[in-house]
């Protein structure tokens, strides 16, 4: 990641890795931004869909896997964050599982995220919450610490096979049969990939097996209202600014000194590019300044107005979505939408059985 940080310093067309925004502090700011800024419609739209349709979504997942030979299923969330929205799905899953007489639940939830401290904290909160009580004896919860790529490699290598127990009891055992896998990628996080072709390439790596009952639940922002989009990332509370500016601290830490960037000398600047259907996040130098790489001694000079490309949020038309699915070798099973914002949640599979798209 060090190389990518340096590249972004010298070329404003090269986006910093999105992971730079998600250290422990970044995850906390992101949770605040998405949960509490009223202008940030994505969280509210996805929450509304899950409040209304979580039972239906979980039923569609489980029904799709009904022909699987093994008992129990695995849910894996990529970029789990605070689990605020995920709890609707976990609660729905618990409601649809009969009471068990054995001690070990056969259904398992795995939360994958970048910061181990936040991961431990959120799983403990889940365990002690009312939803955690509903899950007891039905769904066990585990944490996976790492990147998306770490998670997909772990799953592909059989890392989920045969785990038993719940939080605090993660003893692996042997598995006799492959279990249906349901992956969750919420929040339109897919839109943060630098290029649309990168999104398709990533989705192709997901370990979803054709004809196995495996599914992907994918959140996608299909809003085309430029003013609403701009306002979402420039909320009055200033949380998007704080979230993006925190990337300077983490970038400095990656280079060897978290105080390397003098944060007050930078500003958050964003713009919606309608022709590309994406919102771009920049860190702009407010004055002439120079930083010195602590490792190499190389100096980098930034005049006023120099921009670092910190993040991007792509939006998706209907054609964009279907082109993406085709390029990623995925087929829609069902779709749920939030009409006011056009936000959509898609249930997808690897081709291998005959299905049709339904839902509004």
Q: Which has more confidence, 170 or 183?
A: 183
Phi, psi angles (nearest 5°) of residue 76: -125, 125
- Shared domain check, 126 and 260: no
Question: Of the candidates 32, 335, 65, 53, which has an alpha carbon nearest to the alpha carbon of residue 178?
Answer: 65
- Shared domain check, 323 and 180: yes
Answer yes or no: is pLDDT of 172 > 90. no
Write out the two tokens for 98: 């009969």
Q: Is 143 part of a structural domain of the chain? A: yes
Answer yes or no: is pLDDT of 97 > 50. yes
Q: Is 355 part of a structural domain of the chain? A: no
- Shared domain check, 247 and 194: no
pLDDT digits (tens, 9 = 90+) for 101-137: 555 677 999 999 988 898 999 999 999 999 999 999 9
- Over residues 159-169, the mean pLDDT reads 54
Q: Is 175 part of a structural domain of the chain? A: yes
Mean pLDDT check: name the lowest of 196-200, 234-238, 330-334. Answer: 234-238
- Shared domain check, 301 and 322: no
- Shared domain check, 279 and 150: no
- Shared domain check, 121 and 241: no
Q: Is 359 part of a structural domain of the chain? A: no
Write out the two tokens for 281: 């996040």
256: left (phi over 0), alpha (psi -120 to 50) or beta: left
Q: Is 356 part of a structural domain of the chain? A: no
Residues in the chain: 360
- Shared domain check, 323 and 307: no
- Shared domain check, 179 and 196: yes
- Shared domain check, 123 and 157: yes
The total of structural domains in the chain comes to 2
Q: Is 357 part of a structural domain of the chain? A: no
pLDDT digits (tens, 9 = 90+) for 216-225: 999 999 999 9
- Shared domain check, 154 and 63: yes
- What is the CATH classification number for the domain harbouring 342? 3.40.50.150
CB 282, CB 15: distance < 8 Å? no
pLDDT attached to residue 253: 95
- Shared domain check, 94 and 170: yes
Write out the two tokens for 52: 């209304």
pLDDT digits (tens, 9 = 90+) for 32-42: 998 889 999 99
Phi, psi angles (nearest 5°) of residue 342: 65, 15
- Shared domain check, 236 and 186: no
Domain limits for position 253: 2-32+228-314
Mean pLDDT, the chain, integer: 89
Q: Is 109 part of a structural domain of the chain? A: yes
Q: Is 358 part of a structural domain of the chain? A: no
């Amino acid at each position: 990641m060090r190389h990518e940080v340096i590249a972004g310093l010298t070329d404003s067309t090269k986006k910093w890795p999105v992971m730079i925004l998600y250290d422990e502090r970044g995850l906390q700011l992101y949770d605040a931004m998405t949960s509490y800024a009223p202008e940030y419609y994505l969280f509210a739209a996805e929450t509304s869909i899950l409040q209304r349709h979580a039972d239906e979504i979980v039923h569609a997942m489980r029904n799709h896997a009904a022909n699987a030979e093994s008992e129990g299923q695995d849910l894996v969330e990529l970029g789990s964050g605070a689990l605020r929205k995920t709890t609707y799905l976990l609660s729905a899953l618990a409601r649809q599982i009969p009471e068990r007489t054995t001690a070990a639940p056969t259904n398992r939830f795995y939360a994958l995220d970048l910061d181990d401290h936040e991961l431990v904290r959120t799983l403990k909160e889940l365990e002690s919450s009312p939803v955690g009580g509903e899950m007891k004896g039905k769904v066990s919860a585990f944490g996976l610490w790492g990147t998306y790529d770490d998670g997909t490699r772990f799953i592909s290598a059989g890392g989920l096979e045969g785990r038993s127990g719940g939080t605090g009891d993660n003893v692996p055992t042997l598995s006799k049969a492959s279990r249906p896998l349901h992956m969750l990628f919420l929040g339109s996080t897919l839109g943060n990939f630098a290029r649309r072709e990168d999104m398709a390439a990533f989705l192709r790596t997901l370990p979803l097996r054709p004809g196995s009952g495996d599914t992907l639940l994918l959140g996608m922002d299909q809003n085309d209202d430029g003013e609403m989009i701009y306002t979402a990332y420039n909320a009055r509370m200033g949380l998007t600014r704080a979230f993006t500016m925190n990337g300077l601290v983490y970038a400095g830490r990656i280079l060897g000194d978290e105080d390397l960037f003098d944060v007050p000398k930078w500003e958050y600047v964003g713009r919606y590019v309608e022709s590309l259907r994406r919102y771009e996040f920049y860190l702009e130098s407010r004055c002439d300044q120079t930083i010195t790489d602590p490792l190499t001694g190389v100096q980098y000079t930034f005049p006023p107005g120099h921009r670092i490309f910190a993040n991007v949020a792509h939006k998706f038309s209907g054609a964009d979505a279907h082109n993406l699915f085709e390029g990623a070798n995925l087929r829609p099973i069902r779709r749920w939408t939030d009409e006011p914002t056009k936000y959509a949640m898609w249930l997808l599979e690897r081709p291998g059985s005959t299905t049709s798209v339904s839902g509004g």
